[in-house]
Chains A and B, each alone.
Chain A
Amino acid sequence: MKTKRLNLIFLLLLISISVFLFLYLTVNTRGDLSFAIRLRSQRIIPFFLVGFSSTIATIVFQTMTQNIILTPNIIGLDSMYILLQTVIFFFFGMNHVLVTHHQLNFFLSLLLIIGGSLGMFWLFFKKYPGKIYLMLMTGLILGTFFSSFTNFLQVIIDPNEFESLFARTIASFNRVDVTLVGFSVLITVPVLIYLFKESRTLDVLHLGRAYALNLGINIDKYYLILFIMVSILTAVSTALVGPVSFLGFIGANIAYRLFNTYKHATLFIGGSLISVLFILSGQLLVEHVFRLQTTLGVIIQFAGGIYFLFILFKERNV
């Protein structure tokens, strides 16, 4: 009976995604349909890429920290990305090659985010092992520091440059560079395959550190590997579309409630599909209701923020 219910939910999710995909490709085309479809279909892969990476990264991170209200961005990855963009605009101006050359900017962001998180993990796994909450706290403080510094720079920056900088610091699928999608797929897909293969081992982590060790998992090494995977996934989706911290949070938490299971394989697929559905419907709203006056990032932060508060209040009452 339980599997029947699961299959039904999956079926419903797939049907709604198909419907929204169809709508997304065909609504309001005016004129040549095939041209519109060709243009719009370029964004389909980023939708799935970002949906899957941010959700799976969040679920893995939440299992590792045994906390369902955290996202990998708590260690300050989002703010690091925003600071990088701000610093580039501030010191080099909006016509510098680092701004105009999208690939360069993408790889620089990727390197910085992965490097930054690896630095954190090295510090808290090699130097002070087992202190995961100290790491989260440090990340939180660093994140606040980055945003304050960003704020400072943004206040004194040239207003025109601020305008175009601001667009970069909010997640948006409208400006995804098609040439970067290939790279992103190449980096992300092996990581996702690895995590799917590991899903049964991830299940064991639910029992806590001692029992995972007792059942033969070399936990310190394993956590380091998982953290590298999580930072790669987070880095790619952030560098591709901008900060989407709440997206993975929404997908993961709805999946926990909907599927009511500890099995990562189910949660991975279910949560990712929920996130993809959220992106698709949000993007439809952005393009056809708000007529590109806003970006998906704003909608994600809005809906995600409300949902986050909802979860917080609910957890408090338990």
Chain B
Amino acid sequence: MMEVQNVTKSYGETIVVNNVSLPIEKGKMTACIGPNGAGKSTLLEMVSRLIPQDTGHIYIDGNEVKTWKKGDFAKRLSVLKQTNQMNVRLTVRELVSFGRFPYTKGRLNQHCHEVIDSSLEYLGLLDLQTRYIDTLSGGQLQRAMIAMVLCQDTDYILLDEPLNNLDMSYGVQMMKTLRRLVDELGKTVITVVHDINFAASYADNIVAMKEGRLFASGPVDEMITKPVLDDLYDMDVKIIESNGTKYCLYYTN
């Protein structure tokens, strides 16, 4: 269980995240949606302690995140950033191995190698493990980054737009992988998604943000409704249902 309480962050005069409070269910996939500049990434960065919040508290399993030692926190929560530019020559396996750093400080033991192997296998990267990351395609690099995060073996996994740079087929693969992390491994996945239909199809819960404030949050069924989405995006969104999943049509409005 993760609990965000009255969290605010401002840069100079601009309030980026304004007094946000919400609970996040453990063992579920939560998608964070909203227009550009709504403060989604900033909220994610505060929860993952990449930046400090100005006011408010964030609790993970009952403990305020600030009280965690950095080393212990890294064993509970991992994060995938929006842009992943590495200016270092690493093989896929070496990159994924970095995920074990919180446990062994770089001295890999037998258990580490097992976790690395299973992470690589989970993302279908076993064939690519000796390739250098600068030779990978965008989709392959994204998968390698997820493998590193998975290798960190944390209960909570936060992802900032993991579908960035992925084509339709890789996008679907990625969301299916995230779904498996939740269903098979019991992870709690929180992800910022721009494509609302991916959120509607794969997430359990949706958090919607607008202009720094929490706009609405709840289970997918309650959130993917015309009144909510129209207001959220200031658009006329049409919702259709196919095979029990809701889809939003907004392309020609």
Which residues of A does B touch, CB under 8 Å? Answer: 66, 200-201, 203-204, 206-208, 210-211, 213-218, 260, 262
Q: Are A215 and B86 in contact (CB under 8 A)?
A: no
- Residues on A with C-beta less than 8 A from B168 are none
B119 at the interface (CB under 8 A from A): no
Nearest B residue (CB) for A202? B106
B89 at the interface (CB under 8 A from A): yes
Q: Closest Cβ of chain A: how far from B49's Cβ, in Å? A: 7
Q: Closest Cβ of chain B: how far from A210's Cβ, in Å? A: 5
Can you give 20 contacting A-B residue pairs, CB < 8 Å?
A66-B87, A200-B106, A201-B101, A201-B106, A204-B101, A204-B106, A206-B90, A207-B98, A210-B79, A211-B81, A213-B50, A214-B48, A214-B50, A214-B78, A215-B102, A216-B70, A216-B73, A216-B74, A218-B70, A262-B89
The prevalent SS among residues of B at the interface is loop
Chain B, residues 151-171, CB within 8 Å of chain A (1/0): the string is 010000000000000000000
B111 at the interface (CB under 8 A from A): no
Knowing that A214-B50, A215-B102, A216-B74 touch, tell me 5 more A-B residue pairs with CB under 8 angstroms: A210-B79, A211-B81, A213-B49, A215-B99, A215-B152
Q: Are B81 and A262 in contact (CB under 8 A)?
A: no
Closest 10 CB pairs of A and B: A200-B106, A216-B74, A206-B88, A216-B71, A216-B102, A215-B101, A218-B70, A216-B70, A262-B88, A214-B79
- Residues on A with C-beta less than 8 A from B152 are 214-215
A144 to B51, CA, bound (A): 35
Q: Assuming A201-B106, A215-B102, A216-B74, is B89 touching A207 (CB within 8 A)? A: no
The prevalent SS among residues of A at the interface is loop
Q: How many CB-defined contacts (below 8 Å) exist between A and B?
A: 57
Q: Closest Cβ of chain A: how far from B162's Cβ, in Å? A: 15
A203 to B97, CA, bound (A): 12
- Residues on B with C-beta less than 8 A from A207 are 86, 88, 98
- Residues on B with C-beta less than 8 A from A216 are 70-75, 101-102
A210 to B79, CA, bound (A): 9
Nearest B residue (CB) for A204? B101
Q: Assuming A213-B49, A215-B98, A215-B152, is B71 touching A208 (CB within 8 A)? A: no
Nearest A residue (CB) for B103? A216
Nearest A residue (CB) for B154? A214
B67 at the interface (CB under 8 A from A): no
Q: Closest Cβ of chain A: how far from B104's Cβ, in Å? A: 9
* Residue with the highest number of chain B CB atoms closer than 10 Å, among A66, A203, A207: A207
Pick the residue among B73, B85, B99, B107 that contacts A208 (CB under 8 A).
B85
Chain B, residues 11-43, CB within 8 Å of chain A (1/0): the string is 000000000000000000000000000000000
* Residue with the highest number of chain B CB atoms closer than 10 Å, among A200, A210, A216, A218: A216
A208 to B88, CA, bound (A): 10
Q: Closest Cβ of chain B: how far from A259's Cβ, in Å? A: 11
